[in-house]
């Protein structure tokens, strides 16, 4: 009896942690939320010493970097998953799948270092001239590429699982009607897995959105309007670069806590959405 009560208490503690995180961050960002208007918080001027905390450059920075990452990662991940699940010979699949798992295990800081050593020179030396501009390489595109690399394993492994779960009978029905393999993939496999693909995209988005160090290393960290070959300053970088002096200026602490709270809210919402969708998907084939 004692042991099970102890287990209950520990379980309770773990659940409470999440709510404690939400409460503490909201409580800490309350001073700035209650004294500044929404217009001030969404302005463009970030001058902590003058009490100006406009979050727009940082929110847009995060959005720009994440958007570029998703634009790269979504088509590549889905097509790769299709190849692994539908086209790849069995032997090749046995090699590629562990490789994707390996990619998932690489720490994000290593992706950042790879970004500095390879992606940044690639963007400044080749991609920017290709588009007729110049760039230092420390830009939104580089950060997007690095994030896309980090998102690949998440999206690919979920999509492969989804595609492999499509029952053989449904596939055969399509092939029996004279569909080519690709038509079967397009009309049966991808369409029936569509909600799950959305969930995979949301989970990938959540990972990219909250990434800190790898992005900071390649994004330039300059609070300007983000452009593809120009620098940006995401919310995560804002926290990591300034947490050291946040106690020195009034309201600064609260402003950084608000940045963390925004990240928290977006990640919580995206996880809830993805889980709800995936739960539905699981039921789908269980019935049929």
User: From the CB of 90, what's the least distance to other proteins, in Å?
Assistant: 15
Q: Return the range that interacts with other proteins (CB under 8 A); candidates 18-26, 42-50, 51-59, 225-233.
A: 18-26
Q: Are 283 and 79 in contact (CB under 8 A)?
A: no
The reply to whether 236 sits near other proteins by the rule CB under 8 A is yes
State phi, psi for 47 to the nearest 5 degrees.
-130, 85
> Per-residue string for binding with other proteins, 131-150, x by CB under 8 A?
------------------x-
Residues 42-81 that bind other proteins (CB under 8 A): 75-77, 79-80
The reply to whether 17 sits near other proteins by the rule CB under 8 A is yes
Residues 87-116 that bind other proteins (CB under 8 A): 87-88, 96, 98-103, 105-114, 116
Helix axes 56-82, 235-242, angle to 10 degrees: 120
User: From the CB of 228, what's the least distance to other proteins, in Å?
Assistant: 20
Four-CA torsion 130, 219, 79, 287, nearest 10 degrees: -160
User: From the CB of 39, what's the least distance to other proteins, in Å?
Assistant: 25
Rounded Cα distance, 63 and 84, in Å: 30
Which residue, among 187, 168, 167, 163, has the nearest Cα to 81 in the 3D structure? 163
Strand partners, 47: 52
> In this complex, which beta carbon is closest to other proteins, that of residue 71 or of residue 109?
109
User: From the CB of 52, what's the least distance to other proteins, in Å?
Assistant: 21
* Residues contacting other proteins: total by CB under 8 A: 81
The reply to whether 126 sits near other proteins by the rule CB under 8 A is no
State phi, psi for 244 to the nearest 5 degrees.
-65, -35
User: Distance of alpha carbon 189 from its chain centroid, rounded?
Assistant: 25
User: From the CB of 189, what's the least distance to other proteins, in Å?
Assistant: 12
Rounded Cα distance, 194 and 166, in Å: 11
Out of 69, 141, 159, 257, the residue judged to bind other proteins by CB under 8 A: 257
Q: Return the range that interacts with other proteins (CB under 8 A); candidates 43-51, 124-132, 163-171, 233-241.
A: 233-241
Rounded Cα distance, 115 and 188, in Å: 38
DSSP letter at 233 equals -
Please count the CA atoms within 13 angstroms of the CA of 173 that sit on its side-chain side.
8
> In this complex, which beta carbon is closest to other proteins, that of residue 100 or of residue 133?
100
Q: 145 — alpha (psi -120 to 50), left (phi > 0) or beta?
A: alpha
Out of 83, 224, 249, 285, the residue judged to bind other proteins by CB under 8 A: 83
Residues 189-208 that bind other proteins (CB under 8 A): 203, 206-207
> In this complex, which beta carbon is closest to other proteins, that of residue 113 or of residue 170?
113
The reply to whether 254 sits near other proteins by the rule CB under 8 A is no
């Amino acid at each position: 009896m004692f042991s099970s009560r102890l287990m209950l208490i520990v379980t309770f503690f773990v659940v409470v942690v999440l709510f404690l995180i939400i409460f503490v961050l909201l409580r800490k960002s309350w001073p700035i939320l209650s004294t500044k208007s929404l217009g001030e918080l969404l302005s463009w001027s970030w001058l902590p010493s003058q009490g100006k905390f406009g979050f727009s450059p940082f929110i847009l920075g995060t959005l720009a970097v994440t958007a570029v990452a998703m634009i790269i990662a979504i088509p590549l991940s889905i097509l790769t998953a299709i190849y692994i699940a539908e086209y790849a010979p069995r032997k090749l699949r046995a090699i590629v799948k562990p490789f994707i798992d390996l990619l998932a295990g690489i720490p994000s800081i290593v992706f950042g270092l790879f970004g500095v050593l390879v992606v940044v020179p690639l963007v400044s030396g080749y991609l920017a001239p290709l588009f007729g501009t110049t760039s230092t390489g420390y830009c939104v595109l580089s950060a997007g590429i690095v994030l896309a690399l980090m998102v690949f394993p998440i999206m690919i492994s979920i999509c492969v699982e989804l595609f492999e779960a499509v029952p053989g009978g449904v596939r055969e029905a399509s092939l029996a009607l004279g569909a080519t393999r690709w038509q079967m993939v397009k009309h049966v496999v991808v369409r029936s897995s569509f909600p799950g693909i959305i969930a995979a995209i949301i989970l990938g988005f959540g990972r990219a959105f909250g990434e800190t160090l790898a992005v900071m290393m390649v994004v330039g960290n300059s609070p300007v309007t983000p452009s593809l070959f120009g620098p940006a300053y995401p919310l995560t970088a804002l926290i990591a670069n300034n947490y050291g002096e946040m106690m020195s200026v009034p309201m600064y602490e609260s402003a950084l806590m608000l940045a963390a709270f925004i990240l928290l809210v977006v990640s919580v919402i995206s996880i809830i959405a993805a889980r709800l969708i995936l739960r539905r998907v699981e039921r789908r084939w269980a019935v049929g």
